[in-house]
Amino acid sequence: MQLRSIRDSTPTICGVDEAGRGPLAGPVYAACVILNPARAILGLADSKQLSERQRDIFAFEIKQHAIAWAVASASVQEIDQINILQASLLAMQRAVESLLIRPQLVLVDGKHSPHFICPARTIVNGDSLVPEISAASILAKTARDAEMKRLHTLYPQYGFDQHKGYATKAHIAALQRHGASDIHRKSFAPVKALNNFQADVS
């Protein structure tokens, strides 16, 4: 878990977003950010609309200039136990709870919000509309991508450094060739179907 906080008298509005709900492998990540109005970061956008290089540049700026930020995750085991939506909300909750200051309001991307100790609102497409949520989406995405690159060194046969666990043709082909690893989400349909098929033929 990573976090940073500095003292500031500005209102503490915190943006929250997740990364990695769709992939077949790896943890789901969430981040929260309280931006500093005195150090505006121009050009913030939904992380999916940015190149990897742009995300990395923005992530550095956010970590340097935000009033507070935090990144947290939920494991593959938690995803399989409580489902991906609940695991995403759990990661969001962990991120906000790890902040060194308490936000006055949490703005969450999407339709669902975990229970926070402070007021919260959900905003559909918030990662494109609210700078704090855009910043959170960038930190969540860059943190998860870094983790998938690390996992690639442990499971190089799947190509996690390229597809980050998403269900690309190359990933599905690797799954069929090598079977599921310890970091594949066994509750996700393509992985479950493969495991069932292998159990039937064994």
Q: What confidence score (pLDDT) does residue 12 get?
A: 87
Which among 109, 135, 123, 149 has a CA at the least distance from the CA of 21?
A: 109
Summarize the confidence of residues 90-95 as an average pLDDT: 98
Helix (H, G, I), strand (E, B), or coil: what is residue 170? helix
78: pLDDT strictly greater than 90: yes
In tens, the pLDDT along 100-141 reads: 899 999 999 999 999 998 999 999 999 999 999 999 999 999
186: pLDDT strictly greater than 70: yes
- Give the percent of the chain with pLDDT over 90: 87
Average pLDDT over the chain reads: 92
Summarize the confidence of residues 52-76 as an average pLDDT: 97
177: pLDDT strictly greater than 50: yes
In tens, the pLDDT along 161-176 reads: 999 999 999 999 999 9
Q: What confidence score (pLDDT) does residue 196 get?
A: 65
Q: What confidence score (pLDDT) does residue 193 get?
A: 87
Of 5 and 112, more confident? 112
CB atoms within 10 A of CB 144: 26
pTM: 0.91
Q: What confidence score (pLDDT) does residue 194 get?
A: 84
Q: What confidence score (pLDDT) does residue 1 get?
A: 53
CB 66 within 8 A of CB 35: yes
Give the up-direction half-sphere exposure of residue 110: CA atoms within 13 A in the CB hemisphere. Answer: 15
Tokens of 11: 């209102």
